Amino acid sequence: MKVLTIVAHPREESLTMKVTNRFIEGLQDAGHTVEIIDLYRHEFEAALPIADEPEWEAEEQHFSPEVTKEMERMKSADALAFIFPLWWWSMPGIMKGYIDRVWNFGFAYGNNHLHHEHVLWLGLAAADEKKLAKRKYDSMMEHYFNVGLADYCGIPNSAFHLLTETNKVNPQQIDEWLLQVYDLGRNYGK
């Protein structure tokens, strides 16, 4: 299976990027092929320009060359993975902009839906599980990613996974996380 993996973190040496690399190793060791979109290094423009604003009454949508290229990448993939630091209980703005622009009307929802069978949302959170549960952020995020995005756009198998307390980094914990995400990659789609 070809897994399009979209990652967002401004620092190349971040834990998010280490997690991404280890997840990809797991995917590859399981026999999957991977295409990576590193939104920061790709310099993806998050703001929605007029060229990518849907024509609500039009039978066929036309988008900017940048978005059309990203839609073609998505069409060539069998499954998706999004890896990101959790900021304000969601993904970074650059990744939200990717969703806004690429998962557009007429492509991901409306008269068409995404063809992917699987998507993984892998977030890294500084908060601990107790803080996430206190105000029900954990269930809110799970609903947002799995239902509000994936299900709405036709993806039947969506998983939201969080690594918590990622600001309390020690070598043993990093090794545990990297093993955990490697296993997520090895078992992706099963």
Give the tokens for residue 137.
Answer: 């952020």
Q: What phi, psi does 44 have (nearest 5°)?
A: -65, 130
How many alpha carbons lie under 13 Å from residue 164 in its C-beta half-sphere?
Answer: 12
Q: What is the tally of structural domains in the chain?
A: 1
Q: What is the CA radius of gyration of the chain?
A: 17
pLDDT value at residue 170: 83
For range 155-179, the mean pLDDT: 92
CATH number at residue 50: 3.40.50.360
Tokens 């078992």 -> residue: 187
pLDDT at 171: 85
Where do runs of H (alpha helix) occur along 46-125?
65-75, 93-102
Q: Which of 44-48, 62-66, 122-126, 169-173 has the lowest mean pLDDT?
A: 169-173
Q: Is the pLDDT of residue 47 over 80?
A: yes
Question: Tokens 């988008």, residue?
Answer: 63
Question: CA–CA separation, 121 vs 124, rounded Å?
Answer: 10
Q: What is the pLDDT of residue 168?
A: 80
Residue 65 backbone phi and psi in degrees, to 5: -60, -40
- pLDDT grade for 81, boundaries at 50, 70 and 90: very high
Cα maximum dimension of the chain:
55
Domain limits for position 172: 2-186
Quick one: pLDDT at residue 185?
97
- Is 8 in contact with 39 (CB distance < 8 Å)? yes
- Percentage of residues in the chain having pLDDT higher than 70: 100
Mean predicted confidence (pLDDT) in 33-43: 97
Using CA atoms, how far apart are residues 86 and 44, in angstroms rounded to an integer? 19
pLDDT confidence band for 49 (50 / 70 / 90): very high
Specify which residues 161 forms β-bridges with.
122
* pTM score of the predicted model: 0.96
Burial of 3 (0-12, 13-18, 19+ CB in 10 A): buried
